[in-house]
């Protein structure tokens, strides 16, 4: 006979796995909703103005943030905006009528910082998407889009201190909260850009690759 809920989960590993999975999903969704609630209309409008007025948009991100940058670049291409992924062989020089969209949760990724310095030196606008507005990347950017990610609580190794603070370790590893929230924010921005530019899904489909 099962005496308590702990015994139930200990005897049924799958139930425990499902519980963790559900809590992780809820944590990610909650973070996305925080990002939505904190979205600043003025910043979004300024970001759209920069993207649509630039001759070319250059996007950059490292690791999983790089995948988010590529996904966004694809949608910008569908909208007819000139866009390049930094690091590709066909990426041209950046100029003063271009912009760099840099995605970095910490805002301290060395490769992104060095790239942003070059863009700034060439007088291109810089839009930073980061969790830390006061980071090196944030301070050198023309516009900062704040996307909430993991807090510094997760670096606190003292279990008792975390418990006393009423805080617990995230169930979403490393940069998951930032990366997923950024992906959703940028996809939502595409919807806003479609409205601003008078584009429909059919317009985007016309620019979708046929070389498949």
Q: For this structure, is 179 an active site residue?
A: yes
Secondary structure element (H or E) that encloses residue 202, with its range: helix 201-206
Q: Is 123 left (phi over 0), alpha (psi -120 to 50) or beta?
A: left
Active-site residue, from 134, 179, 201, 212 = 179
Tokens 């301070």: give the residue: 139
Tell me how crowded residue 179 is: count the other CB atoms within 10 A of its CB: 23
The CA angle 99-151-157, to the nearest 5 degrees, is 135
Find where tokens 């995230």 sit.
170
Give catalytic residues, as residue numbers. Answer: 179
């Amino acid at each position: 006979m099962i005496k308590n809920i702990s015994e139930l989960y200990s005897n049924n590993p799958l139930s425990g796995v499902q519980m963790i999975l559900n809590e992780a999903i809820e944590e990610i969704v909650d973070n996305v909703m925080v990002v939505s609630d904190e979205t600043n209309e003025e910043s979004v409008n300024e970001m759209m103005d920069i993207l649509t007025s630039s001759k070319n948009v250059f996007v950059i991100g490292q690791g999983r943030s790089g995948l988010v940058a590529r996904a966004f670049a694809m949608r910008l291409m569908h909208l007819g905006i000139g866009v390049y992924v930094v690091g590709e062989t066909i990426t041209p020089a950046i100029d003063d009528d271009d912009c760099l969209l840099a995605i970095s949760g910490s805002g301290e990724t060395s490769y992104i910082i060095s790239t942003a310095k070059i863009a700034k030196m060439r007088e291109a606008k810089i839009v930073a998407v980061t969790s830390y507005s006061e980071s090196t990347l944030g301070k050198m950017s023309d516009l900062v889009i704040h996307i909430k990610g993991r807090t510094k609580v997760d670096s606190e190794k003292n279990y008792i201190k975390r418990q006393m603070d009423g805080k617990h370790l995230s169930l979403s590893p490393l940069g998951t909260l930032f990366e997923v929230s950024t992906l959703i924010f940028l996809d939502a921005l595409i919807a806003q850009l479609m409205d601003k530019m008078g584009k429909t899904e059919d317009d985007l489909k016309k620019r979708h690759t046929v070389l498949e």
